[in-house]
Each structure stands twice: as C-alpha cells, then as structure tokens.
Amino acid sequence: MILAGGIGFLCFGEVLSSSFNRIRFNEGALTWMPLLPVTICCWVLKEGVSVLFPQEKDLKILHEWPDYKKLKVHFNVGVVFCVLLTAPCLFIWLFNKLESFEWAWIFCVCVIALLADAYSVYSAKIELKSVLVRASKII
C-alpha cells in the first residue's frame, strides 16, 4: 500500500496537487480527522486480541495448536503496522499539515494501509472461527 501510494504520488502528484489546492476544508473536519486512523487502530488492537484469545471453550484448542506461535507473530506484526501507520497520521494532524497536498497524501495512504491491516485481522478472525468450528467437530 505504501509503495503504491509512493508510485501514485510520483505519477499523478502534480495533477492531483492542482485539484487538491482548489479544495477548501471544513475546520471541523480537520479537527476530527485523526479519529479515523485512531479508531481503526483501536479496532485492530481489540479484534486482534479476540483472535489470540477466542471464546473460553475454544481457547484450549487454539493454544495447543502447533502453529499458534505463527499466529501470534502475525498478530504482533499487524499491531506494529497499526501503530507505525497511526503515528504519522497523528504527527500530520498535530502539526497542522493536512492542508498541504504532500502531507494529506501521506495521511490518506496511511489510512488506506490501516484499512488493509484491519481487513487482514477481520479475515483472520473469520478464518479462525471456521477452523475452530471444524476442530471442535473432530474432537
């Protein structure tokens, strides 16, 4: 996502910048803009914990699974990405950089990457529930 954002900026930056400069932002929107990445990050953290620690009846099956360590590593990587992508968004907002095209572009790329991270946690949660249902039928 970040690579695609960088390539998009290099290829279409000038065209998009001229369009961006004609836009006038609502101050209220700029004030509340960081809620989007922060909310996504909080959701990823909350739902990620429920992936590692599902319902009580499934907890033993999951923690005895031989690949549980891999799942935990994937969760930790997702959390690191989440924090690393939220930090620039907060930096951009705190220093009032959202009215600059370059900084707004970085903000949007980070939010899109956060959404991809959130999607991966969501799909992992769905897949995990499916696996646990199949595993509980076997046992």
- Positive or negative: CA dihedral 57, 61, 63, 69: negative
How many independent structural domains does the chain possess? 1
Query: What pLDDT score does 106 carry?
Result: 92
Query: What pLDDT score does 34 carry?
Result: 84
Contact 93, 106 (CB under 8 A): no
Low-confidence spans in the chain with pLDDT less than 70: 21, 58, 138-139
Query: What pLDDT score does 39 carry?
Result: 95
Contact 82, 47 (CB under 8 A): no
Query: What pLDDT score does 110 carry?
Result: 95
Within a 10 A sphere around the Cβ of 69, how many other Cβ atoms? 9
Query: What pLDDT score does 119 carry?
Result: 94
Which single residue is written with the structure tokens 């990823």? 44
DSSP 65: S
- 105 is in which domain, residue-wise? 2-138
Query: What pLDDT score does 69 carry?
Result: 87
